[in-house]
Every structure is written in structure tokens, then in C-alpha cells.
Structure 1
Amino acid sequence: MADSAISLVPVRVAELAVGKPLQRPIYDWYGNLLLASGCVIESQSQLDGLVSNGFIYDPNWDLAPAPRKAPTVPIPSRKTSPPPEVSGEDPNSGNKETIVAMDDVRWYVGETLYLQLIDNPTIRYTVRLIGFVKNKTVFVTQPAVDGKFEYVRDGQTFVVRAFSGKKAYAFVCSAVKSVHTPHPYLHLSFPKEVRCAVVRRGSRAQVRIIASVSLGQPERVGAATLTDMSIGGTSGIIKQSLGSKGDEGLIKFKVHAAGQDEYLSLKTVLRSVTPAENGEGYRHGFEFLDISMHDRLILSAFVHQTLAEGI
């Protein structure tokens, strides 16, 4: 488990290749190890997942000087001062928001951005950052749905959200111009300010997802309404008490991550059962067990996208 003070930045596609060993370990955005240094990427889909949701240790983001010795896996614990914007806060407290300038954020070409129409919040697009010209324009790939480019009118206003390392960013901008040749891309207005929140390791995304749950032997099955989720677990309401603490089973649900629907079937253990707050049913708390790298990448993408939408 990575130290919470360690700074992570998105992995770059140029550092990865199918069939070649990793030069550095790759983590999810919580700091959990996905692939250790020396492991070989076995397929293009695995590589794409790592590019979308993988992070590497970057000492340039640390406030304290990085040690001369290269970090090992797991990253050794180091005593560093907490970032100024969260100094003195309880680790379990909410995320504190600050305002930063666009060019103060260490954006990378290929960074995933989420666009949400202000006048129709149900419309959301996933795009990639191409670059920006300070105080003038931000270049992103043309929004597409099911492989088809979407028409974006000049002047349409978006809330744009992104993750970089353990920080979530959000800003408001408008479409300046769609360019269709030689390659489609979109000009966005340059934001005056960007809101930034440091996301805690234990942060839970507020969700509303219908799931199928099976627990124990003999197997008991029920439908749950999941209300929050993290990379490590979830909780939700079931009409009846489905089991006892320690019962293991499966939980199945669908999430929308990085622009597509993904179906997850995860091994889980029941950690708590209490009467629901509104008196209707029982709240069950689940911990995910033995999550595969593929499923962990999907969960990371979904959770950090949902958390970003909350700032």
C-alpha cells in the first residue's frame, strides 16, 4: 500500500508497450499496486486500461525532496509535511477545495477530461487533452459516442472535470470552434480559474446503482440499491437482512466508466448489517475481495470520475 503522501501522476503511453517489461511500477489512483516493475504487459486492452487509469510515482510532486534511492514496491513510508491546502485536517474529513490557474496544473497530452453540458447535465462526453495556449484556448479531441463524432455548437457551455494524481479538477468553459479537418478536434475557451480538490484515500463516491447480491451457504440472493462506493467496497440497501457478518459471496452490477458500460462480478464479504436510516430495509456494507487488475482499473475509472463530478 502506497504512503498517502506519495504523489502520483498519470502514466504516459510512450512508457508502455505490449510484450515489454515495465520500467516502473504502476498504481491505481488510490496508490494500490496494479503492476510491479518488470512485469510484462500481455495485451493491447491491458495497455489501454493502464494508460486510462494507471499512475506512476513522480517525486517532482512531493513537497519534501525525494530520497536519492529509487522507490521500491511497495513505496517505503516517508515522513513529509502534508500539502498546505489540507494541513491540519482529519484524514477522514471531506475534500478541501482550492482555486488554481490552468497553467499551474501539470496536465499531460492525452489526459482524460469529462465534459458535461451545463444546459443538459445528462449529456456527458469523454475526451482527451491535446494541449492549450495560455489565456486563449484549450484543445481537446472531438466528442464521440459509439464511435461517431458528436456535433458541438459554438458557444455551448460545459463543466469540464479531470483527475491528475490524487487531485480532482473542475472548470467551466465554452466551445469556441469545432475543427473537422485534417483531424477532428475541439477548441474550448481558456478558463479563468480551475477548482482543485485533494481526494482522500477513503473517499466514497455517492452512487445509485442496482446490484445483484448472493451470500453464504446455502446461497441467499437479493437485489441491492448501492448508495456509495470506493475502490475497496460499497454499501447499499436490501429489503431484508441477507446474511451475517463474515459471509462471503458475489456482487454484480454495471457502471459507466470512460465512456462505456462495464459489467462487474466481484467477490465480496459482508462487513456490516444495520437497519436502514429511513426504516425501509437494511443497510449492508461490503468489502471487495481479490479484485483482478482489469476490474480494479474499471472501479478506479468509475470512482474517480464520479468523485470528480462532485466538485
Structure 2
Amino acid sequence: MSDPVVSLMPVRSADLVVGKPLRETIYDWHGNMLLAAGYVLENQAQVDELIDNGFIKDSAWDVIPTAPRPSMPMAQSKKPVVAEPPKEENNAGKEVVVAMDDVRWYVGETLYLQLIDNSAVRYTVRMIGFVKNKTVFVTAPVTDGKFEFVRDGQTFVVRAFSGKKAYAFVTAAVKSVHSPHPYLHLAYPKEVRCTVVRKGVRAEVDIIAAVSLGSPERSCAAIITDLSMGGASATIKQMIGSKGDEGQIKFKVRAAGQDEFLNLKMVLRSVAPSENGEGFKHGFEFVDVSIHDRLILSAFVHQTLAEGD
């Protein structure tokens, strides 16, 4: 049975003021207490972190999170008191319902539109902005360099990713505007569903890669069959290396409309015959990944997941 929707809502920036006590207790995604009501925020960095990761109870929440760790007295600690989160896999797929204006949307945010009555039709657009309870503005859908015709009333499932969170809502096209610049009005959604994307979630792919492994170095071609932020599975014609061998894996992805080349340090963690009997399936763990490469991986994995739903 799937987990029920948790009645938490993201903390509002208006409720967080440096130097003033919190009016409400703030929880993490799992319902564990982060900061008790009355805690005095020290700096803007704390405020920004809570806007991205903090939640408060809404009026419908009548279940208190079980056994949160008690907060330390204010006189003893100035740092946020963070409860130990439960294991990630126990919370995979747990959902909250949030308001459109409670999400930290950015101009230029990538949104994925999928027609409800024809799931094969998908568009990638950018958010321009929104007017609360009125409309959401996005760039006009483009395919092969040509603007797509979207009729008024067409309904879409819209998906977006921000950090570790995936958002989805249902909306309809209100009006296509062609001048002076093409853009699309979407109906303002009544609610947005928000789900945490697990760190280890994998996207099914078919990517050609170059692998070099061990000492002396052995190199070969590979086909990456699934990819995550933490590693990849790849099929290679012959068995290459032993568990624990270190090496490099190089491949190209297209993320946010640009081709990006990745050259990642990795460790071989598993080798087994492939399911179809052709070659061997190798499991690689990425190590020492730069911030830049993490951003590329995150964008590509999230984009692939959205387009594959």
C-alpha cells in the first residue's frame, strides 16, 4: 500500500525573520522536528536553508510526528537541532500537497508538459512567471525549431524538478499568445504534488561510454543501461576488472538543451552476466564527483525521469 499524503506545507519566507523567534515548529520532509517554536534564527543562511527544506503543519494535520528528538534549551545551543531522519527508502514516494506559490520557482525553470489525452505528446518549456490564482506563464512549446499549435482547453500534466524534490500538477491551456513574443497561459493549479526524489533513483538510458579500469589500465566501450547520481550500470562484451578496481568512465548526455561531456572517476562494485546473455553487466560507483558534474547528472537524471513517466 502506498504511503498516505502527509499534511505538511513548506515554510513561508514571511514566517522566517533573522533575529526573531519562530512562531511554529519546523519539520523536515519526514515529519521529524528540525527547530522548535521559539528558536531565534541567527542569519540569512539559516533562513534560506529552511525555505528549501523546512515544513510546518497545516490546519489538516492532526497527527503529531512520533518520537521526535527534543530540542536543546536555547541557552545551551545556537545551532539548529536536527532530528535523525528515518532511512531514505522507507520514505520513498511519500507525497505532500503544496500551494503553487509555496514552491520556490525561478524564472527559466524547466517544465515538462505531457498531454493528458495523448501521453506520447510531450513538450519542454520554461517558466516565465505566474500570477497567484490567475495564470502561469511559460514559453511556447517548440519542436524541431517550430512553434507547436496548442489549442485553448488542452489539458496537461506538468512536471518539474528542483533539488531533491519533484513537482507535478494538472492544468489546461488558457491562451496562446503569439505577439510580440510567443508564450502560453496555463491555468493556475489548485494544488501541486511534491515528492522527494531518492538519491539512488535510477533512470533507464542507452548511452555509449568509454571505460578505463585497473592498473595496468584496460579500456573498452560500454553501453550504460541505467544511471543515477551515485553510479551507473553498463554492459560490456567482456568482463573487465575485479571488484574494487578504480578507473574512469566517459560519456555524453544532453541536459537542459546542451550536450555535456562527463569524465567521472569510479569504482567497480559488481560484475555479473547480463540478463540476455550478451556480455557482462558492470556496476560502477561514482566517486569524487565535482559540483559542476553533479549538477549535470542531476539535470539529466531528472529530465530523463520526467520524460519517461
Regarding TM over 0.5, the answer is: yes
Alpha carbons 2:112, 2:122 under 8 Å: kept: no
Query: Do residues 159 (structure 1) and 157 (structure 2) align?
Result: yes
User: d(CA) in 1 for partners of 2:235 and 2:89?
Assistant: 23
Q: Which residue of 2 is the match for residue 127 of structure 1?
A: 126
Give, as a single letter, the amino acid of the residue that structure 2 aligns with 1:273: V
The structure number with the bigger radius of gyration is 2
Report the alpha carbon displacement of residue 269 of structure 1 after superposing the two structures with TM.
Answer: 2.2
CA distances 1:246-278 after superposition (whole Å, capped 9, x unpaired)? 223221222221123322222322122123344
Q: Which residue of 2 is the match for residue 27 of structure 1?
A: none
Distance 1:257 1:103, change over 3 A: same
Report the alpha carbon displacement of residue 241 of structure 1 after superposing the two structures with TM.
Answer: 1.0
CA distances 1:139-198 after superposition (whole Å, capped 9, x unpaired)? 11234468x562332244433211234220122333322223333321112334433211
For residues 63-78 of structure 1, the aligned pairs below 5 Å read: 63=55, 78=81
Q: Which residue of 2 is the match for residue 62 of structure 1?
A: 54
Q: 2:135 aligns with which of 134, 137, 143?
A: 137
CA distances 1:100-156 after superposition (whole Å, capped 9, x unpaired)? 44344343444332234553636431312411341x42111234468x562332244
Which sections of structure 2, spanning at least 5 residues, go unmatched? 1-9, 12-46, 57-70
Alpha carbons 1:112, 1:162 under 8 Å: kept: yes
Q: Which residue of 1 is the match for residue 63 of structure 2?
A: none
Q: Which residue of 2 is the match for residue 80 of structure 1?
A: 83
Q: Which residue of 2 is the match for residue 150 of structure 1?
A: 147
Q: Which residue of 1 is the match for residue 301 of structure 2?
A: 303
Alpha carbons 1:97, 1:195 under 8 Å: kept: yes
Q: Which residue of 2 is the match for residue 29 of structure 1?
A: none
User: d(CA) in 2 for partners of 1:204 and 1:57?
Assistant: 29
Give, as a single letter, the amino acid of the residue that structure 1 aligns with 2:272: T
User: d(CA) in 1 for partners of 2:82 and 2:132?
Assistant: 38
Report the alpha carbon displacement of residue 57 of structure 1 after superposing the two structures with TM.
Answer: 4.4
For residues 34-113 of structure 1, the aligned pairs below 5 Å read: 57-60=48-51, 61-63=53-55, 78-80=81-83, 90-93=87-90, 94-113=92-111
Q: Which residue of 1 is the match for residue 255 of structure 2?
A: 257
Structure 2 residue matching 1:58: 3-state secondary structure: helix
User: d(CA) in 1 for partners of 2:150 and 2:221?
Assistant: 42
Structure 1 residue matching 2:299: 3-state secondary structure: helix
Give, as a single letter, the amino acid of the residue that structure 2 aligns with 1:125: T
Query: What is the CA RMSD across the aligned residues, in angstroms?
Result: 3.7
Query: Do residues 237 (structure 1) and 235 (structure 2) align?
Result: yes
State the structure with bigger RCO (CA 8 A, min sep 6), 1 or 2. 1
Give, as a single letter, the amino acid of the residue that structure 2 aligns with 1:153: V
Give, as a single letter, the amino acid of the residue that structure 2 aligns with 1:128: M
Report the alpha carbon displacement of residue 77 of structure 1 after superposing the two structures with TM.
Answer: 8.2
Give, as a single letter, the amino acid of the residue that structure 1 aligns with 2:247: G
CA distances 1:261-306 after superposition (whole Å, capped 9, x unpaired)? 3222223221221233444332211122333333222112112223
Structure 2 residue matching 1:296: 3-state secondary structure: helix
Alpha carbons 2:242, 2:268 under 8 Å: kept: yes
Q: Which residue of 1 is the match for residue 268 of structure 2?
A: 270
Report the alpha carbon displacement of residue 222 of structure 1 after superposing the two structures with TM.
Answer: 3.0
Q: Which residue of 1 is the match for residue 189 of structure 2?
A: 191
User: d(CA) in 2 for partners of 1:181 and 1:241?
Assistant: 58
Distance 1:215 1:266, change over 3 A: same
Structure 2 residue matching 1:290: 3-state secondary structure: coil
Alpha carbons 1:170, 1:308 under 8 Å: kept: no
User: d(CA) in 1 for partners of 2:115 and 2:243?
Assistant: 43
Alpha carbons 2:125, 2:138 under 8 Å: kept: no
Alpha carbons 1:252, 1:265 under 8 Å: kept: yes
Alpha carbons 1:169, 1:195 under 8 Å: kept: yes
Q: What is the number of residues matched between the two proteins?
A: 246
Give, as a single letter, the amino acid of the residue that structure 1 aligns with 2:182: P
Distance 1:253 1:98, change over 3 A: same
CA distances 1:220-251 after superposition (whole Å, capped 9, x unpaired)? 33332323222221112223211112223221
